[in-house]
Each structure stands twice: as C-alpha cells, then as structure tokens.
C-alpha cells in the first residue's frame, strides 16, 4: 500500500504534546530509502518524541506517520518487523553478559537457534565484541555498550533502523568507529535515522533535519545547507544558530 516506496519514513504535519509541553508542532520530514538521515537538535527539541512516533510507540495528536508506507501503530501490519530501534536510554540487561543479552533479544524476536547462531557470529564480528561475550553489559565501556545495543537491534535484520543519540556519552574514537559501522549497514541497503545533539555530526549524514523546539527549521544535504549559510559543513553549529536567529527574529518582527 506504499504510495512512495522510496520513502522509508515520513512525518506529515505531525503534532504531539505532553500536557502543556508541545514536543512536536507540526513537523514534516522524510527519510529516503538507503540514506543516513540525521535528526539534529539540542536537548528538548523533540528528537525522542519523533523517533517514538516513527516506531509506533506513540500516537500523534494530529498528522500522519508512515514507516515503509504503513502506519507503524497498526499492530496487524508486518511493517513493525522491518524496524530496528536503539533507544536513547540504556535498554540492555546490565547483569546479563554480552552473549546472554544477544540470546535474550533473539528469543524476543523469535529467531531460530540456527539463525541466531549465524547472526550472533556476524554481529559480534562487525561490532568487534567477540572477545567480550562473557562480560556483563554494565561492565562495558560507553562505546561497547552502544555497539551491543546496536547488535541486539539488528538481530532480526531490520530494513529501517532508528537510533536515538547513539553517540551520546561515547568517546571520540568509539564515536568514529560507531559511525563506520553505521555506514557499513547503509552500504548493505539499510536505511538509518540517527538523532544527535552534536552539530558536528550533521556532516556525517546524507541529509539532515534540524529540529528546534518542536519545529523542523531546515532539511536537506548538510553540505548544501552549510554552503547556503557561507560556512564549512564542519562548522554546522553556525548553520543551526543562524537558522534559529532568523526564526526568532522573524517571530519578533
Ligand atoms: N513523556 C513525556 N511527558 C512529558 N513531557 C515530555 C514527555 N516526553 C517528552 N516531553 C517533553 O517534550 C519535549 C521534547 O522532548 P524529547 O522528544 O525528549 O526531546 P529530545 O529527545 O530532543 O531531547 C521536551 O520539552 C520534553 O520535556
Ligand atoms: Mg531524546
């Protein structure tokens, strides 16, 4: 039933409030199949709310959310099986080992023993966690913990992966490693939406959506956005601040 199959995820005029807090104020954005889309914005911008809506964990107050052309809240739709989610907060079992966490999530996803073993070997290989299978999750470094969360979210071979601040609290070297891992996934045909509060990570994405106080203030190729603002893509903070100023200036006028 997907009208535009090249669209992996889309929000159309989506609004969502929590009591008086307006988390999203009519946001429209689209993630194309096969790209790395960065949802960039400071704390409180609405990133997690957007991701929870995309994952079908929340209903919008109004507007439309589509995941591979389907409604992600439709419990009868198989589209949910195409989705992988790495939430912002720690979601692994700290007192289970790396191997036990993988097994636990494989059971949740209903993987056969054979499929699990094959997948486990692949995922331990790409995340380089193979030497740490006996280590408890709560004894992993920040970067290793995120890689394990990523491995758990990839067990069932999703087509679309949503990652909520995967690099937050991760040291710079592990951050780069994590990004390399993400590119490898996209190279295999996966679609990625990554949220981040770090402006410098915008340049790592094919396209970005800049979220500020529940509004999408810009969307596009980060290099193109930077060029339009006359700054280097590596200085993306300047783009963001300039857009915020323009927006607030417009409001004041
Ligand atoms: N469950 C909730 N209850 C009340 N307020 C919420 C809830 N979730 C989000 N909010 C509010 O919505 C806004 C956006 O939050 P969030 O989506 O978590 O932003 P981000 O992930 O970008 O930090 C914030 O003002 C936050 O306080
Ligand atoms: Mg968040």
Q: Which domains does the chain have, with CATH numbers?
A: 7-44+59-189+207-220 (3.40.50.300)
Q: What are phi and psi of 216, to 5 degrees?
A: -85, 110
Q: What CA–CA distances, in Å, run from 160 to 8, 79, 111, 188?
A: 7, 10, 18, 12
**CA–CA distance, 126 with 193 (Å, rounded to integer):** 19
Residue corresponding to tokens 């994590």: 178
Residues whose CB is less than 8 angstroms from the CB of residue 202 and which lie 6 or more positions away in sequence, other chains included: 38, 40, 196, 208, 210, 222, 233, 236, 239
54 in ligand 1 pocket by Cβ < 6 Å?
Answer: no
pLDDT in tens, the chain (253 residues): 444 447 899 999 999 999 999 999 999 999 999 999 999 999 999 999 999 999 999 999 999 999 999 999 998 888 888 999 999 988 899 999 999 999 999 999 999 999 999 999 999 999 999 999 999 999 999 899 999 999 999 999 999 999 999 998 888 888 999 999 999 999 999 999 999 999 989 999 999 999 999 999 999 999 999 998 888 877 888 888 988 888 887 666 5
Ligand 1 site, residue 43, Cβ cutoff 6 A:
yes
**pLDDT of res. 252:** 61
**For residue 96, how far is its CA from the centre of ligand 2 (angstroms)?**
25
What is the pLDDT, as a whole number, of residue 2? Answer: 46
- Find out whether the beta carbon of 23 lies less than 6 Å from any atom of ligand 1: yes
Q: Where are the alpha helices (DSSP H) in the chain?
A: 47-54, 98-109, 113-127, 142-154, 172-187, 222-228, 236-252
Alpha helices in 110-195 (DSSP H): 113-127, 142-154, 172-187
């Amino acid at each position: 039933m997907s009208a535009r199959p090249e669209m992996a995820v889309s929000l159309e005029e989506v609004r969502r409030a929590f009591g008086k807090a307006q988390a999203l104020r009519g946001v429209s954005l689209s993630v194309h199949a096969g790209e790395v889309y960065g949802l960039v914005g400071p704390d409180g911008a609405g990133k997690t709310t957007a991701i929870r809506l995309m994952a079908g964990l929340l209903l919008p107050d109004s507007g439309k959310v589509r995941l591979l052309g389907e409604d992600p809240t439709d419990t009868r739709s198989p589209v949910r099986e195409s989705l992988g989610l790495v939430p912002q907060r720690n979601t692994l079992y700290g007192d289970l080992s790396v191997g036990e966490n993988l097994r636990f999530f494989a059971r949740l996803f209903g993987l056969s023993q054979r499929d699990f073993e094959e997948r486990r070997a692949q995922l331990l290989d790409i995340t380089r966690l193979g030497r740490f299978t006996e280590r408890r999750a709560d004894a992993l470094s920040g970067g290793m913990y995120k890689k394990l969360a990523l491995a758990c979210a990839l067990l069932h071979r999703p087509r679309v992966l949503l990652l909520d601040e995967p690099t937050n609290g991760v040291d710079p070297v592990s951050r780069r490693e994590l990004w390399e891992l993400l590119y490898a996934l996209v190279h295999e045909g996966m679609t990625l939406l990554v949220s981040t509060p770090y402006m410098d990570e915008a340049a790592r994405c094919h396209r970005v959506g800049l979220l500020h106080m529940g509004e999408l203030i810009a969307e596009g190729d980060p290099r193109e956005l930077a060029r339009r603002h006359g700054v280097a893509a590596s200085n993306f903070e300047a783009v963001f601040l300039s857009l915020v100023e323009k927006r607030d200036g417009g409001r004041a006028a």
